[in-house]
Every structure is written in C-alpha cells, then in structure tokens.
Amino acid sequence: MIYRDIIKITTKTDGFHDLTKQVGEIVGKSGAKDGLCNIFLQGTTASLAINENDRMLIEDFKKTLTALIPDDHLYQHSENAPSHLRAAMLNQNLTIPISKGKLMLGKWQSVLLFEFDTQDREREIVVTVQGV
Amino acid sequence: MIYRDIIKITTKTDGFHDLTKQVGEIVGKSGAKDGLCNIFLQGTTASLAINENDRMLIEDFKKTLTALIPDDHLYQHSENAPSHLRAAMLNQNLTIPISKGKLMLGKWQSVLLFEFDTQDREREIVVTVQGV
Amino acid sequence: MIYRDIIKITTKTDGFHDLTKQVGEIVGKSGAKDGLCNIFLQGTTASLAINENDRMLIEDFKKTLTALIPDDHLYQHSENAPSHLRAAMLNQNLTIPISKGKLMLGKWQSVLLFEFDTQDREREIVVTVQGV
C-alpha cells in the first residue's frame, strides 16, 4: 500500500519547524500498521534532520552551520550560496520505520526542518507511506 | 513492483555529474506511476546530493568541502583520507518519491554526483524503483 | 513482504561498530531476494555511515568531526551538544538495495556506527527489509 500527503509550511529566514506531529498524523491516516515512511523536502536551501527538539540545541545547530559555512566569505553562486551549502550538510530525505501504526522514533528523536534561505519560503514536504 | 537498473559512469578527480535525466529515464522504464525511487552509490570516496545544478554553486560545493577537510593535513589513512571524509559529509543513498510516473523533485532540485577520489573511477549507481 | 529485526549493542564514548555482518544476516533471515533494506538508528548522538572499515580511517573520521565541531567551545545545549552536532553531520538512516538475497554494497563499503555521546549507551538499530 502506498499513501501520500504533502505538508505545506511557510518558513522564515533562519527558521525552524518540528514536523513530528504532522508526519505522525499522516502515518495514522494511511492506516499502515507496519512499513516505512519517507519524508522528502522539495528544496535546496532547507534541510530535514532527525534530532532532539531542544531550543538551546536548535540554536547550536544554526550557529555551528554558520561557523562551518560563514556568510562573510566569497562564494561564486550569487545571492544564497551558504544557504545551499548548509542545507547539503544535513538531509533532504529521511526514511523512518513504522510499527503498530506509529513512527519508530527513539525517545529523543524529532523530525526537524531547518530553513537556511535568505528569504521567507513556501515549503512542501512530501510524505510517502509504504506498508501493510 | 520492484524494478532495478544500474547507471555506470567514468568519473575524473574532482568531477561532477548530473544524474537527474538518467534516473528519470529508469523511473519511466519501470512503469511505476506511484512509489519511491532509491539511488545508491556503490562507493566510499564519491557522493550523491540533491541540490541545484548551477556551475558556480558546484564550484562552491567543491571549495567548501576542501576548506572543511583540507588536503594539507596529516591523516592516518594512507593516500585518500580526505576523499572518504568529504564523501561522508554528503550522501551515498537517496530516496525520492514518484508520482504520475515522474520523480517528485522540486523546481531547483537535481540529483548530483560528486567525485572526491584522487584518481579516475568507474562508478556504479544502483537505481531501485518500488511502486505500483 | 516486510521483515524487521532490531540490533541491540552497548556502545562506549567515542566507540565504533561495524554492523555489516549483522545487517546481512537479517537480510538473509528475511528471505527477500530483491528489494531494499532500511537501517534506522534510534538515537540523536550517534550516527550511521557507509564507508570503508579501516582502523586508520575510523580515527580520521573521529578527529575530523572533533575538529569541525570542537569540544572546547561554548554551546547552549547543556552537557553533550557536540555529540548531537557531530551525529547530524553523518546519518541516522540508510537504505541499501538487496539483490539475490544480499546487500548490494560496493567493494569497500561497510555499514558503520559511530558513537559520539559522552557516556556509554544502549543503542537500538531497526532493520527493515521490504522485498520479494
């Protein structure tokens, strides 16, 4: 069985969203008890990651990626090269197992979206459930 | 339904390839209208990424990864340690949703392959379509 | 067909484990001849990666991630922020194709687990086989 839904959100520069609840609801609607859930972000300047949703840690994520890929550096791609490069350090696609109709996330795991672009964006996150 | 094909390419040191068209053709041949496409690079010194295929940005990718993992550093693994380490910063596997027989890529997304090895390589990229 | 098993290991700070054999055994038990194998680590301070299992290279991995995300830096998240940040540079989920009942890994590819936490941990790695 394949079930699909798309999460649409408006992000702000340097923004952060926790998608765990929305993805879990899609898994619930799919009716799948056992299988896999694929989460795919249709963008090149934002990222998905599975990590702890702690406000302090989220700040550490942003600062660390800015330290590794600084703004005040000469890039060849115009405008938002650091946004692309930071996005590539994390992921645009995740696959999470499903058991008993729920995502098999660990105790501290959340599905996180980081916006790295220099302007507000409309983001679409494609959620595909394959299961039984 | 499972359909599989392997893309074979010869890469050069510091090389770059856009695989979007070839992967899309395999999805077309599979006949799958809805599902997922897994792309798996059988290597440890090259990477896959989903990002924008812009010539300037590709240069930024290479320079940024060389800045983060420099050549003129003492590594313990002989010969090509930086190639392995840069490769691990990006991905060796991607999973992209399929709808209406096509990859659900965003407007700016392409499937990119970066070669980080210090010599030319024959690369095999396994493409697996699971769908209906 | 969906088959699932969980690998449980006890890790030590700065530890490293090669999971290739255990994952391959689960694929064998599943009976799947053709399909995909998803490997999902239920943690936020450890990582999965597909790379070469060479003792020297494993040391380069640890040193490089510590150089990029140093311990002696002021983070906002208490205790183990660098563990989370290093973990996010690599992966928590991998998907590997299966053919003829075996993982389609390249010659030098192994399934590696890096522990970045500051204390010993019990880790669970969920292995899901989807195939025929």
- Mean model confidence pLDDT for chain C: 97
pLDDT of residue C79: 85
Chain A residues closer than 8 Å to B97 by CB: 4, 38, 40, 126, 128
CA of A89, closest CA in chain B: separation in Å?
6
CA of C122, closest CA in chain B: separation in Å?
24
pLDDT of residue C78: 83
Identify which of B40, B41, B44, B121 has the alpha carbon closest to the alpha carbon of residue B82: B44
**What are the start-end ranges of the E strands in A1-120?**
2-11, 16-18, 35-41, 46-51, 93-99, 102-103, 110-115
pLDDT of residue A11: 98
For range B6-27, the mean pLDDT:
97
pLDDT of residue A48: 98
| Contact yes or no for A100/A67 (Cβ under 8 A) | no
C119-C113-A53 Cα angle (round to 5): 60
Residue C7: pLDDT band by 50, 70, 90 thresholds?
very high
CA of C54, closest CA in chain A: separation in Å?
24
Strand pairing class (A121-131; A2-11): antiparallel
- The whole-angstrom separation of Cα C7 and Cα C48 is 13
Q: Is B36 on the interface with A (CB under 8 A)?
A: yes
* Longest CA–CA separation in chain A, Å: 51
A12-35 in b/e form (b: 16+ CB < 10 A) is eeebbbebbebbbebbeebebeeb
For range C43-48, the mean pLDDT:
98
What are C55-109's pLDDT values in tens digits? 999 999 999 999 999 999 999 998 899 999 999 999 999 999 999 999 999 999 9
- Mean model confidence pLDDT for chain B: 97
CA of A86, closest CA in chain B: separation in Å?
10
- The whole-angstrom separation of Cα B105 and Cα B108 is 8
pLDDT of residue B78: 83
Per-residue pLDDT for B97 more than 90?
Answer: yes
Cβ distance A81 to B57 less than 8 Å, yes or no, reads yes
Cβ distance A87 to B35 less than 8 Å, yes or no, reads no
C34-B46-C12 Cα angle (round to 5): 80
| Helices and strands (H, E) in chain B, number of each type | 3, 8
Chain A residues closer than 8 Å to C77 by CB: 54, 56-57, 59-60
Q: H or E stretch including C56?
A: helix C55-68
- The whole-angstrom separation of Cα C121 and Cα C39 is 18
Nearest to C104 among B43, B88, B126 (CB): B126
| Contact yes or no for C17/C129 (Cβ under 8 A) | no
pLDDT of residue A102: 98
B121-B46-C81 Cα angle (round to 5): 160
Question: How many Cα atoms sit within 13 Å of B2 on the Cβ side?
Answer: 17
Q: Is C86 on the interface with A (CB under 8 A)?
A: no
Look up residue B62 and give its two tokens. Answer: 């290479």
Q: Which domains, and CATH codes, for chain B?
A: 7-131 (2.60.120.460)
Please state, in angstroms and as integers, the Cα–Cα distance from residue B61 to each residue in A74, B10, B69, B112, C91, following that order.
Answer: 13, 20, 12, 11, 19
Q: Is C95 on the interface with B (CB under 8 A)?
A: yes
Q: Is C81 on the interface with A (CB under 8 A)?
A: yes
pLDDT of residue B55: 96
Give the residue from chain C lying closest to A35, CA to CA.
Answer: C2
Per-residue pLDDT for C131 more than 90?
Answer: yes
User: Among all chains, which residue has been given the structure tokens 């094909």?
Assistant: B5
CB-neighbour burial class of residue C35 (10 A; exposed 0-12, middle 13-18, buried 19+): buried
- One-letter amino acid identity for B129? V
- The phi-psi region of residue C14 (left if phi > 0; otherwise alpha if psi is between -120 and 50; otherwise beta) is left
- One-letter amino acid identity for C5? D
Cβ distance C78 to A56 less than 8 Å, yes or no, reads yes
| Helices and strands (H, E) in chain A, number of each type | 3, 8
| Contact yes or no for A102/A24 (Cβ under 8 A) | yes
Residue A59: pLDDT band by 50, 70, 90 thresholds?
very high
Q: What are phi and psi of B51, to 5 degrees?
A: -160, -170
